[in-house]
Amino acid sequence: MADCIFCKIAAGEIPSTKVYEDGQVVAFKDLEPQAPVHVLVIPKAHIASAKEITPENSAVVAHIFEVIAKIADELGLENGFRVINNCGEDGMQSVQHLHFHLLGQKKMGWPPFPQD
C-alpha cells in the first residue's frame, strides 16, 4: 500500500526501533509509549484492520501471537502483559494497517472503562 506508514516501516522506508523481524512480521517500539514496554506487532503484508481478517490471511495472526509470546519473554514480561487491537472508528484505530499493541511492565486497569 503506497501511502501506508506501517507498510513503509515494514519495508524499512520509515525508521523505527525494531525489536523483532522475520519474513512475515515486524515488531517495533511505539512512537508514543503508553507503558514502559509498548511494542506494535504487524504483518508485513497490508491488512487494513481486524475486520479484514479472512480464512486466506488469518495464519499470520496466529504467527503474530507466537511472536508476541517470544518478545514478551525476551522483554521480561513474565508477570504478564496486555495485547490490544483497536479496530475501526469506534475502536479508535488511527493507523489503517493491522497491528497489535503489546503493553507491559505496568499494572493494567480492569474494567477498561471505569467511568462508564
Indicate which residues carry an active-site annotation: 99
Cβ(64)–Cβ(23) below 8 Å: no
Choice from 41, 93, 102, 103 touching ligand 5GP (CB under 6 A): 93
Choice from 16, 39, 41, 47 touching ligand 5GP (CB under 6 A): 16
Tell me how far apart the alpha carbons of residues 84 and 100 are, in angstroms, rounded to a whole number.
Answer: 6
44 scored as a contact of Zn ion (CB under 5 A): no
List the strands of the sheet with 37-43, edge to edge: 18-21, 25-29, 37-43, 100-104, 81-84
Q: What residue 54 binds from Zn ion, ligand 5GP, none (CB within 5 to 8 A, per partner kind)?
A: none
Q: What residue ranges bind ligand 5GP (CB under 6 A)? A: 5, 14, 16, 28-32, 40, 86, 92-95
